[in-house]
Structure 1
């Protein structure tokens, strides 16, 4: 058996389908010195027992792009390598058994068309014609994708491995990684053991493709890779006479999927309450292992399946299979450059979609590694979205019970996770709960999303229609539009940048101008070299040498990592201070009046104009107020140290009673920002959206030299915009928009909504979305007829490039 070399450009740890795909795609890019190390035998972890379902449609455009790429790759891999992949485009059918699920899958079908995926909505009778064995009782609708398929998971991985070898990669089995060496923010190599032989490979880069071992491999490098193995069950019947090739069938309302395979039927399950596995670690000798049967756990799924497909009652069970797969806290896989290290990459935690994801994930990661920047927006799966605490084993154990089942649960808008809650609480948490707050969770933070009133149950009742809090949000929006509202923004990230080079560093990393007076607030973006948006933040100058960068809660780690990686020789210290201060937003026409009642400070335009901060006394304590807004009203964000936060809340809430102050939540903020046309990072603006096409050119100061993205901004000014971010409002006030609904211009699909919410003040569902506009003026873009496809129904929409609410920001700047 060959021993590893002494040096490699990249060492890939793990020989499942993901590791093989990364190796294959790196060699396709001409990389040499690619070494893949597998502890036992290729595919022996999860890949060998995967069901091999290969679907094109995912929840976002780029994830769909990657899934489509996988399927196209597998179709050609056999011809390239001579290894049979078993890939067949047999199509897939997803059936709904309820009206709610029907709306979900029909919205997915509309989304598929916007993403360029062929899809067909079909009736129960049409399902029966394509799948005669199915009992169509209760079927309310279905969707059919003709290019979906299935494949042989192990052989797909082995074909990728052979392709990698043909490209010059060394693929070594029975070679276990025993340690990872580091120097500062870089890994320097890996220690290995092969039988009685041991050694070390120095490496320029390391990729963690460890699957369910990914958490443990990450720990060796000081990197957080939150995932946990769960038991995953399926049965395979004896041969069934006359059974021929069928589409893959999914019945999510019964937690089940079906696949015909060589005249047998495979029935698999994603049950609502999963069984986490290997709390004390995966056994060292694990290789092609099965876990003990648990028929009691699987029985409810089987009972429903026998009724849904009566032929199963006559078929004997050939195999009852139970094998482990890894799941992440949010059911999205981990891809990308680890925040803790500058040359350690991750591709792990594929949540039962590893086969259909492997081709695209390997391609995207290889491009990222080659170019040093993401090839397109990968925010859904970028490992930097994971918070440090999410590597906690108790947390992962609790959350993994739920995440497996969520794959087939109803994907209702605003659906909240039920497990592993309460980890991060703001200083106002108990006060908010006492006043009826209904909590949601983001990045572990418990956040008040809306407030129950008049003995209303403080909990979500999910539906695709108007949810039980719809009227509550209308009242909360009305409060900030006509009076005053107060809400908790403590979860937003706060990063302190301090040092003698703070101004120069900020001017290098950000598009704005930061050489401003102390107390000035700059709304700004961090750009990449293509002019795409890596972060959307506000930056407040606290002193001659210190700035406070405020980020969305979910991207604090990513934004801090971006700054760390571009620090270079600048003399600055970058520190997360999020937990140090609570933040209350006071917003609405009477915001100034409320603050004047609790503080002797001057909140006038002369002293505290829009875009400035000042230190104040508040009640018996101290605070700092930032005059900015995400809801488009006169208002302040009140920053108060955590020890005085409860006092600040009590003082403001009590003083606000005479004014009728209303406690508000995050849903109100989203609806109000949508009316104002404010962008949401991760949806409306991402690393692949050019700052000028996003309509944010006003925040970029090209008259300063040498900031990241400057050349790309100047180039775009010369060549012109290829698309514009447009605001939409449905003319019919009844339908609801969430995101990804197709946008039609003069009857043709031209894009999709990047985000959606209800405009309670403006009286209709609203959204933002990019419209292609190469060679067109703004007037020409607006002159067309626009519609939005809502679950297959086209609804007329009005459009605007300026905010439909308060286009000149007169309310924001009110004296």
Structure 2
């Protein structure tokens, strides 16, 4: 049967993800869908996946997608007639260390907030549910009764059949070979089949679901998809007499998982020091292939497993399997509309959780493609977070050797990657290192997170409690609150928006009014049509035709992409100038005195009030200072060309000694902003959080005739708020919060913390989180009794709608 010559969507890749996208598009009425698979369906990674299907993920929306997958797989067989092997067998995760036990208790609390059924179980309960387990060293665990397992290949084939029933064309042994591109759109996909036929398909949309080929296909489509295949090992035992259905068992402290399947036991591993595979390209004839055995690599896992599961020591090994799976630099998969392309989508890089993610991922991507907007916040996996440099093979080889093992590593707060480091450095890097900086990494940038004292080790010691840098950060915090501190903000994104239509363009995409004088700084958001927050930025007007948009480091590319997608035919040029300028934040009550000591310019409230910028002389050079703050104190951000950055650092740092200036890191910025209830994009504010419910209505000017989201803002003013973002302070100063801890209102779970940090000035842990408030006044919301569930312990909390620190913002205007 010949392939169609035209399609609304062409999907490249016939694993479980591609089949899911095709299935869900047809459910939305897209009948002209074509799926191209180079060999046979499932022949890359899907066929050998373990088929573990868990519900609980690290965030609410990722959990939402996993729960959807479960529900879908439970119904697919009835719909398509293809047996999926889906069984709700439950799952158990056990802890062998106190730190892991704390993590599991925190996960259990998070699950309660997300509506996932979970039980914390002791050793006796673990043994009763899993009699084969040697519980030596086991401290406790969690049990999720609705977790399951399934047949990966048949799940994919069931969705492929469902897609065909919905009108899609599924073509096996047909490879997409190249594309025709016009501007930022792909107009045609060229294909060749193994029988020698070939042709083209005019395509409205192209979707990269190529799995471990995703980077290669991404390159063909003109997009960056940084992922790399790694070797993944498991063994399957000979049949074991009397072995019956068991829950899936995870022993992350031994890097192992166990699954009963047809009277046999499977043992799989996510070991540290993984092995990247096919760095020079995947063999062209790869199809249902296994990789060479490496028993030496797997032996340490097996030794622990024989102790943990004694019956493995008695049963023979039926299969020793080694197969490739794709991994990404940050262990989150890619989904969404690719930057730089108007009609190229991706769903790839599933980091060994493809089966449990596929149903939800296919549903969410299909909905996004259909509506033109994300159905809900997908920032965790949005392809726009990927950095272009991350497709470098040397970078990927180093990083993915670590990320595979991170699946089962302790998920401590502030955990830093140790591989592929040192790539992006600010112009102040060496000076910060000389000052004792301990660096973390974000979007490839090396950032000073905290400063070690002389003689103190310069590395993290992770835990769920107060880590080894807690007191260091407290000292930095006090310096900013009481004196003066300086930290490096060079990694923050800087986008120049210039041209004769710059003002009109930014008024279209920003909620605030951009018709301001040169030198004015405006805090604003990019809103979507629902009033949700797509970006949280400051915009400085540099001249009549030029603005500088400053974005968080992690979202710089996404924010630039948002701007470009809404540019239209306006006369505007957008340029990323992030690396062109170094930025030092000088913050604290003595910040003005420090700057006056190094510059002849006037930093008074008369000349340089809060929210304004000016060009200055500094030392022997020139810079631009922005009087803004993310820490809630008097302060300036000093922007200086990379060529003069070293000189300006030395000038400020030397002069600052007279005033007790202290070098500070990123952790202190977070603790200070939490006290001031400043929102953190990606946590407290996302694309599904309405700007009014986030408490940011002051930054939206509906008097403007038109901007994206204006109608939604006006509608919300009419209908009223359904939730409010509150700040909480734990009344007990000892517990720590990070995010996702349940919020209890009058004893009932009503939400969870979107972010958390320790407030060293306020003297307790601080969290932000949304609380339902439909039909209630602010006074009604605050009148209730609140608690935060910290690892199963309820801690009383004080709620506030105004910042608990400096509620009138008097300190920033000193």
SS at match of 2:692: coil
Superposition pairs of residues 14-93 of structure 1, within 5 angstroms: 14-93=13-92
Aligned to 1:551: 551
**Deviations for 1:598-644, whole angstroms, at most 9, x for unmatched residues?**
00000000000000000000000000000000000000000000000
Q: Compute the displacement of 1:6 (Å).
A: 0.8
Q: Give how far 1:222 is off.
A: 1.1
The alpha carbon displacement at 1:5 in A equals 1.2
Counterpart residue number, 1:423: 423
Match of 1:177 in 2: 176
Correspondence for 1:681: 681
Q: Which residue matches 1:630?
A: 630
* Distance in structure 2 (CA, Å) of the matches to 1:807 and 1:683: 22
Question: SS state of the match for residue 105, structure 2?
Answer: helix
Match of 1:767 in 2: 767
Equivalent residue number for residue 412 of structure 1: 412
Name the residue aligned to 1:3: 2
Query: Could you list the per-position Cα deviations for residues 337-362 of structure 1 after superposition, in whole angstroms to 9, with x for gaps in the alignment?
Result: 00120100000000000000000000
* Deviation of 1:18 (Å): 0.1
Q: Aligned with 1:203: secondary structure?
A: strand
Q: For residues 131 and 39 of structure 2, what CA distance do their matches in structure 1 show?
A: 43
Hey, what's the Cα distance between the residues in 1 that align with 2:511 and 2:650?
39
Contact 1:57 1:67 in 2 (8 A): yes
**Does residue 648 of the first structure (1) align with residue 648 of the second (2)?**
yes
Per the alignment, residue 462 of structure 2 pairs with 462
Aligned match of 1:230: 230
Matches within 5 A, 1:386-405: 386-405=386-405
CA deviation vs aligned residue, 1:139-162 (integer Å, no higher than 9, x gap): 111000000000000000000000
Aligned-residue CA RMSD in angstroms?
A: 0.4
Mapping of 1:525-564 within 5 angstroms? 525-564=525-564
* Aligned pairs for 1:329-728 within 5 A: 329-728=329-728
The alignment partner of 1:812 has SS state of: helix
Counterpart in 2 of 1:197? 197
Secondary structure (helix, strand or coil) at the match of 1:657 reads helix
CA distance in 1, matches of 2:631, 2:94: 40
Q: Distance in 2 between matches of 1:167 and 1:41?
A: 20
Partner of 2:245: 245
Q: 1:189, 1:206 within 8 Å by CA — same for their partners in 2? A: no
Q: Distance in 2 between matches of 1:636 and 1:16?
A: 52
Measured in 1, the distance between the counterparts of 2:180 and 2:732 equals 61
Whether the aligned pair in 2 keeps the contact of 1:439 and 1:448 (CA below 8 Å) is yes
User: Would the aligned equivalents of 1:114 and 1:752 in 2 still touch at CA under 8 Å?
Assistant: yes
Query: How does 1:768-783 map onto structure 2 within 5 Å?
Result: 768-783=768-783
Report the equivalent of 1:812: 812
Q: Secondary structure at the match of 2:427?
A: coil
Q: Distance in 2 between matches of 1:810 and 1:269?
A: 55
- 1:477 is paired with a residue whose SS is helix
* Per-residue deviation, 1:166: 0.4
Q: In the alignment, is the contact (CA less than 8 A) between 1:35 and 1:170 conserved in 2?
A: yes
Residue number in structure 1 paired with 2:130? 131
Contact 1:64–1:115 (CA under 8 A) maintained in structure 2: yes
In structure 1, how many angstroms separate the alpha carbons of the residues matched to 2:105 and 2:585? 38
Name the SS for the 1:362 alignment partner: helix
- Secondary structure of the residue aligned to 1:574 is strand
Contact 2:436 2:454 in 1 (8 A): no
Counterpart position of 2:144: 145
Given that 2:583 and 2:640 are in contact with CA atoms closer than 8 Å, whether structure 1 keeps it comes out as: yes
**TM-aligned CA deviation for residue 34 of structure 1:** 0.4
Q: Give the structure 1 partner of residue 276 of structure 2.
A: 276
Alpha-carbon separation, structure 1, partners of 2:705 and 2:383: 32
TM-score (normalised: structure 1): 1.00
CA contact (8 A) 2:523 2:539 kept: yes
Mean CA deviation greater in 146-155 or 198-207: 198-207
Q: Is the 8 A contact 1:66 1:360 kept in 2?
A: yes
- How far residue 650 of structure 1 moved from its aligned partner, in angstroms, is 0.3
Secondary structure (helix, strand or coil) at the match of 1:656 reads helix
Measure how far apart 1:123 and its partner are.
Answer: 0.4
8 Å contact from structure 1 (residues 520, 611) kept in 2: yes
| Partner SS, residue 292 of structure 1 | coil
* Aligned mates of 1:297, 1:340 — CA distance in 2: 41
Deviation at 1:454, TM superposition (A): 3.1
What is the rounded CA distance, in whole Å, between the counterparts of 1:595 and 1:110 in structure 2?
Answer: 47
Alignment partners' CA distance in 2, 1:731 and 1:242:
54
Tell me, in whole angstroms, the C-alpha distance in 2 between the residues paired with 1:340 and 1:124. Answer: 53
Unpaired runs of at least 5, structure 2: none
Write the distance in 1 (CA, Å) between the matches of 2:197 and 2:765: 65
Counterpart-to-counterpart distance in 2, 1:537 and 1:640? 20
Alignment partners' CA distance in 2, 1:182 and 1:786: 56
- Displacement of 1:575 in angstroms is 0.7
Distance in 2, Cα, partners of 1:721 & 1:10: 38
Aligned-partner Cα distance in 2 for 1:401–1:633: 42
Distance 1:23 1:189 in 2: 18
Structure 1 distance, partners of 2:674, 2:578, is 26
Partner of 1:187: 186
State the distance in 1 between where 2:509 and 2:306 align: 60
Distance in 2 between residues matched to 1:758 and 1:110, nearest whole Å = 20
Separation in 2, partners of 1:181, 1:213 = 20
1:117 counterpart residue number: 116
Q: TM-score, normalised by structure 2?
A: 1.00
- Quote the residue 2:297 is aligned against: 297
**Could you say what secondary structure the match of 1:803 adopts?**
coil
Return the offset for 1:172: 0.5
SS at match of 1:199: strand
In the alignment, structure 1 residue 265 sits paired with structure 2 residue 265: yes
Is residue 277–residue 324 contact of structure 1 (8 Å, CA) maintained in 2?
A: yes
How far did 1:202 drift? 1.0
CA distance in 2, matches of 1:310, 1:261: 17
Contact 1:135–1:308 (CA under 8 A) maintained in structure 2:
yes
Per the alignment, in what secondary structure is the counterpart of residue 438 of structure 2?
A: strand
Distance in 2 (CA, whole Å) between partners of 1:4 and 1:216 is 24
Query: How far does the alpha carbon of each residue in 1:503-535 deviate from its partner, in whole angstroms, 9 at most, with x for none?
Result: 000000110101100000000000000000000
Query: Is the 8 Å Cα contact of residues 787 and 796 (structure 2) preserved in structure 1?
Result: yes
Q: Hey, what does 2:755 align to over in structure 1?
A: 755
- The structural deviation recorded for 1:461 is 0.4
**1:3, distance to aligned residue in structure 2 (A):** 2.9
Q: Distance in 2 between matches of 1:613 and 1:388?
A: 32
Unaligned runs of at least 5 residues, structure 1: none
Task: Tell me by how many angstroms 1:181 deviates.
Answer: 1.6
Offset at residue 569 of structure 1 (A): 2.1
Distance in 2 between residues matched to 1:554 and 1:352, nearest whole Å:
24
Secondary structure in 1 matching 2:762: coil
> What are the Cα deviations for residues 460-491 of structure 1, in whole angstroms up to 9, with x where unaligned?
00011100000011100000000000000000
1:389-447 residue CA offsets vs partner (Å, 9 max, x unmatched): 11111101110100000000000000000000011000000000001000000000000
